Chain A
Amino acid sequence: KAGVTQTPRYLIKTRGQQVTLSCSPISGHRSVSWYQQTPGQGLQFLFEYFSETQRNKGNFPGRFSGRQFSNSRSEMNVSTLELGDSALYLCASSPGTARQETQYFGPGTRLLVL
């Protein structure tokens, strides 16, 4: 099975712009979670989607949003970018039908905000 794929892998934006990141889960997986990884704050949970519905949400401002499509692919959007949004954005997928399943991570999208 192909693993979790994320596009693009690298992205450079300037302050005030918005960005959309994409995640394709492992075939058959219906849950997609997003995490932000920075040297200062570590790995932080953003949100989780299952069957096109947001099921869990972390403590991030409303500038961070996401959605999931009927094929389970997910996108996250960050509007009005700030310098502090520079990070590695990771998505993880799991079947989504049982509790505490293994989450499989993609390689991440590295976002640099100038």
Chain B
Amino acid sequence: GENVEQHPSTLSVQEGDSAVIKCTYSDSASNYFPWYKQELGKGPQLIIDIRSNVGEKKDQRIAVTLNKTAKHFSLHITETQPEDSAVYFCAASRMDSSYKLIFGSGTRLLVRP
């Protein structure tokens, strides 16, 4: 069945360090992989996404990599700042049900000043 595993569940880093969150998906038909950031009391907000025809995508301090063979994708945040502290979710979807996102269990990131 469809499943997305996400690690670690919590991550604490010093301000300025990098943070890496990893996800593995089970459905080989998945081809869209968004990452969401959720702050307390708010809904998830898209921060970056990647499609299966691309291996890496960057947006300023944020990058995502995708390894289709191994069925895993990762979020990299460089030069972390206290405002990066939040819960991060990875997700995956298939082309034939592209509005159905299967989410990972979330990573609580704490950036220590």
Chain A residues packing against B (C-beta within 8 Å): 4, 31, 33, 35, 42-45, 48, 50, 55-56, 58, 90, 92, 94, 96, 99-108
Whether B101 pairs with A103 at a CB distance below 8 angstroms is yes
Whether A108 pairs with B43 at a CB distance below 8 angstroms is yes
What is the CB-to-nearest-CB distance from A108 to chain B, in angstroms, rounded to a whole number? 5
A106 to B43, CA, bound (A): 5
What is the CB-to-nearest-CB distance from B32 to chain A, in angstroms, rounded to a whole number? 4
Whether B51 pairs with A42 at a CB distance below 8 angstroms is no
What is the CB-to-nearest-CB distance from B64 to chain A, in angstroms, rounded to a whole number? 14
Whether B93 pairs with A43 at a CB distance below 8 angstroms is no
Q: Give 6 nearest A-B pairs by CB, closest first.
A: A105-B43, A43-B103, A100-B32, A99-B98, A48-B99, A100-B98
CB-defined contacts of B34 to chain A, threshold 8 Å:
102-103
Contact of B43 among A58, A100, A107 (CB under 8 A): A107
A105-B45, A107-B42 known; A100-B103 Cβ under 8 A: no
A106 to B42, CA, bound (A): 8
CB-defined contacts of A106 to chain B, threshold 8 Å:
43
Interface residue? B97 (CB, 8 A): yes
Whether A56 pairs with B99 at a CB distance below 8 angstroms is yes
Interface residue? B102 (CB, 8 A): yes
Interface positions of B from 94 to 110, Cβ below 8 Å from A: 95, 97-106
CB-defined contacts of A33 to chain B, threshold 8 Å:
99-101
A102 to B43, CA, bound (A): 14
A sample of 14 cross-chain residue pairs with beta-carbon separation below 8 angstroms, ordered by A number, consists of: A31-B99, A35-B103, A42-B106, A45-B100, A50-B99, A90-B43, A92-B43, A94-B99, A96-B99, A99-B95, A100-B31, A100-B98, A105-B43, A106-B43
